[in-house]
Structure 1
Amino acid sequence: MKNTTPDAAVLQELKELTSRIFHICEQNNIPVVIGYSYELSRNEDSYSINKSITAYADEKTGAWDSTIAAAAMLLKVKDVPREVIGALHSLSVAS
């Protein structure tokens, strides 16, 4: 990831679009997951990122897809090992 923070206007547009998509999906009972991240800062020892995760899935109302629910949970973890990414890729190829 590059050591750049997007312009405030870009972040505001992402926030507005994410909110709009979420509300459309929620009103129409459609499961959705939206995620994006960007680097805030970096030094020799570490880096700081900001991650935005928005999801809607409600099994009770029928707005449910197991892959959407899994994606939302996966986006919440700090780091995913390459082996896990490979295993997920294998699952997607097999489907």
Structure 2
Amino acid sequence: MLCTRIRTALSARLDGEELPPGLTVHRLETHLAGCRDCRRWEAQIRALAAGALGAPGQPEDDPAAADALLARLRTVSVRPGAVPPGGVDSGGKRAG
């Protein structure tokens, strides 16, 4: 099973939404049991959600809270490697 599909399901589950069609809780848990990367990804999104829910005030009401939340998100984000001049980034654009 593709990890992207599992991660979509994990995000949906965290948001209290239904799993995507054709994906059962059993299949999701089976994949997680064997995929360290998806377990790590789930832990990161749970931590982000807990941090966002525990943030004082709502970002739209408090610009400082929004800045603090963005700073926390940046510290756990996966940053792609540098694209060499003439290379193609993940967005299909040429660098340099």
Q: Structure 2-normalised TM-score?
A: 0.30
Higher helix share: 2
Q: Which of these two proteins has the greater Rg computed from alpha carbons?
A: 2
Higher strand share: 1
Question: Which structure ranks higher in relative contact order (CA pairs < 8 Å, sequence separation ≥ 6)?
Answer: 1
